[in-house]
Amino acid sequence: MPHTLNAGKVEEIRPGKTKRVKAPHGWILVCNVDGHIYAVDDLCTHEDASLYLGCLKGHLIQCSLHGGKFDVRTGAAVEEPAEQPLRTYPVTLTDGEIHIEVPA
């Protein structure tokens, strides 16, 4: 059963910034890419590093540990050593609040 997580207000995440929110199954990284909000797993698929510690440039998040890059719009791994995609989550915005559909 999916579960809807309230990830706070859009205005709390400025464009180019990220926020980490706790879901029942783990941490999710919420990204503001030029005003569009995307949600992906916070854990890098290469090894166990938090992408929150990485750097968001445009729609690409770069892992701080080995420099792998992912497209936060699709979860795709776009630069090695990252090869496996990140899981992505549906996001809806209601009255300026971010809602993320996550597994229960």
Contacts of 95 (CB under 8 A, 6+ apart): none
Shortest gap between Cβ of 68 and ligand FES (angstroms)?
A: 3
Q: Which is nearer to ligand FES, 59 or 66 (CB)?
A: 66
Closest Cα partner for 63 from 34, 39, 83? Answer: 83
Binding site for ligand FES (CB under 6 A): 44, 46-47, 49, 63, 65-66, 68, 81-82
Q: Which is nearer to ligand FES, 39 or 63 (CB)?
A: 63
Rounded Cα gap, residues 16 and 34, in angstroms: 7
Shortest gap between Cβ of 51 and ligand FES (angstroms)?
A: 7
Residue 79 in tokens: 């630069």
